[in-house]
C-alpha cells in the first residue's frame, strides 16, 4: 500500500514539474509572424556608391530589427527569364525596382506578375503619359507637369528681363503657350520638320537670342546643331531627378510596416527627391 502511495506521489510531482517546464517555453506571437515582410530589391548599374551603402545599411538593420527577409540583385539592366521565374515562385511581399531604364523594361513584365506588389522608382522625368496597369504596381516618377513648374520661374525671369529665347522642340512636345505666345511663333522650331536647320540658323542670326532652349528630347546631332550657333544652350530634357535615398528608404519601411498601398503612377513626396536644372 505504501509503495502504491509513493508511486502516485511521485507521479504527481512529475506532473507538476512538467507543467511548470511547459510554462517556460516561449511562444511566437502570431501578430509578429503576420508583420514579417520579405523584400526583393533590384537596382540598375547607375546606382551610386553612396546609395548602395545606404541601401545595404538599411536592409541589414531591417533584417536585425524588423525581422525582414530580403534579397538584393544589383547592376541589373533588365530582368532575365530565370529571375522572373524566381519572382513568380518565391513568396516576396514586395519587389522594389530602382533606375529609369530598369523600371521601363520591367514595367510590362510586372504587369503580368500580379501576385507580387511592385514598388518602382524612376529617376528621370517622364515626358510622355504612362499607363500603369494593375492594382499591384506603384510607380513613382516626376512627370511633365513637374518639369514645367520647375522651369517656370527661369523662363519668366528671361521674359521679364527681355532676354530672348529661341525654342527648339518636336511636334510631340509643344512649348507651353505662356512661355512662347502665338505672336512669337517664329521663335519656335520643330526639329522633326524637314529643313528646320536652315530656318533655325536664319532665325538665330535675325533674333540674336540670349538663349537657345531645347524643350523636347533631342539626339546628339540635333544638340550639336544647336551648339554650333554659338549661343548658350539650355537642354531642359537633361533635368536631373536626384533620389534622396534616406527618405525613400523611410517611405519603403513605412509601406512595409503599415501595409498602406497606393497603386498606379504616383508623384514623389517633396522630401524624396531633388530636381537639378541643367543650367
Q: Are residues 99 and 193 in the same domain?
A: no
Question: Contact 98/59 with Cβ under 8 angstroms?
Answer: no
User: Is the pLDDT reported for residue 29 higher than 50?
Assistant: no
Question: Cα–Cα distance between 13 and 61 in angstroms, integer?
Answer: 47
Residue range 50-109, pLDDT digits in tens = 999 999 999 999 999 988 899 999 999 999 999 999 999 999 999 999 999 999 999 999
Question: Cα–Cα distance between 190 and 218 in angstroms, integer?
Answer: 11
* pTM (predicted TM-score): 0.81
Q: What confidence score (pLDDT) does residue 130 get?
A: 87
Q: Are residues 215 and 139 in the same domain?
A: no
Domain that holds residue 68: 34-143+240-276
More confident residue, 224 or 183: 224
Residue range 177-210, pLDDT digits in tens = 999 987 788 999 999 999 999 999 999 999 999 9
**Residue 208 is part of a domain; what is its CATH number?**
3.40.50
Give domain status of residue 67, yes or no.
Answer: yes
Q: What confidence score (pLDDT) does residue 1 get?
A: 47
Q: Are residues 175 and 95 in the same domain?
A: no
Q: How far apart are the first and last CA of the chain?
A: 103
Tell me how many domains the chain contains.
2
Residue range 244-267, pLDDT digits in tens = 999 999 999 999 999 899 999 999
Buried b (16+ CB within 10 A) or exposed e, 168-194: bbbeebebeeebbeeeeeebbbbbeee
Q: What average pLDDT is seen over the chain?
A: 88
**Residue 269 is part of a domain; what is its CATH number?**
3.40.50.2300
Amino acid at each position: 500500500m505504501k509503495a502504491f502511495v509513493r508511486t502516485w506521489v511521485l507521479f504527481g510531482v512529475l506532473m507538476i514539474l512538467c507543467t511548470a517546464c511547459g510554462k517556460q517555453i516561449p511562444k511566437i506571437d502570431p501578430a509578429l509572424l503576420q508583420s514579417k515582410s520579405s523584400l526583393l530589391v533590384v537596382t540598375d548599374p547607375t546606382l551610386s556608391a553612396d546609395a548602395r551603402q545606404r541601401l545595404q545599411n538599411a536592409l541589414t538593420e531591417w533584417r536585425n530589427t524588423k525581422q525582414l527577409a530580403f534579397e538584393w540583385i544589383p547592376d541589373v539592366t533588365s530582368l532575365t527569364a530565370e529571375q522572373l521565374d524566381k519572382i513568380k515562385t518565391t513568396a516576396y511581399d514586395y519587389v522594389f525596382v530602382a533606375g529609369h531604364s530598369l523600371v521601363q523594361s520591367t514595367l510590362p513584365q510586372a504587369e503580368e506578375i500580379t501576385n507580387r506588389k511592385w514598388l518602382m522608382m524612376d529617376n528621370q522625368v517622364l515626358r510622355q503619359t504612362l499607363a500603369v496597369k494593375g492594382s499591384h504596381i506603384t510607380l513613382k516618377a516626376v512627370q511633365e507637369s513637374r518639369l514645367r513648374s520647375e522651369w517656370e520661374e527661369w523662363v519668366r525671369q528671361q521674359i521679364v528681363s527681355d532676354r530672348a529665347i529661341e525654342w527648339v522642340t518636336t511636334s510631340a512636345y509643344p512649348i507651353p503657350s505662356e512661355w512662347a505666345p502665338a505672336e512669337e511663333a517664329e521663335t519656335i522650331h520643330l526639329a522633326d520638320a524637314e529643313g528646320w536647320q536652315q530656318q533655325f540658323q536664319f532665325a538665330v542670326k535675325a533674333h540674336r537670342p540670349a538663349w537657345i532652349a531645347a524643350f523636347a528630347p533631342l539626339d546628339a546631332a540635333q544638340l550639336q546643331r544647336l551648339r554650333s550657333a554659338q549661343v548658350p544652350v539650355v537642354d531642359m530634357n537633361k533635368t536631373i531627378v536626384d533620389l534622396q535615398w534616406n527618405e525613400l528608404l523611410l517611405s519603403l519601411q513605412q509601406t512595409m510596416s503599415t501595409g498602406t498601398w497606393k497603386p498606379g503612377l504616383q508623384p514623389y513626396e517633396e522630401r524624396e527627391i531633388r530636381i537639378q536644372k541643367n543650367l
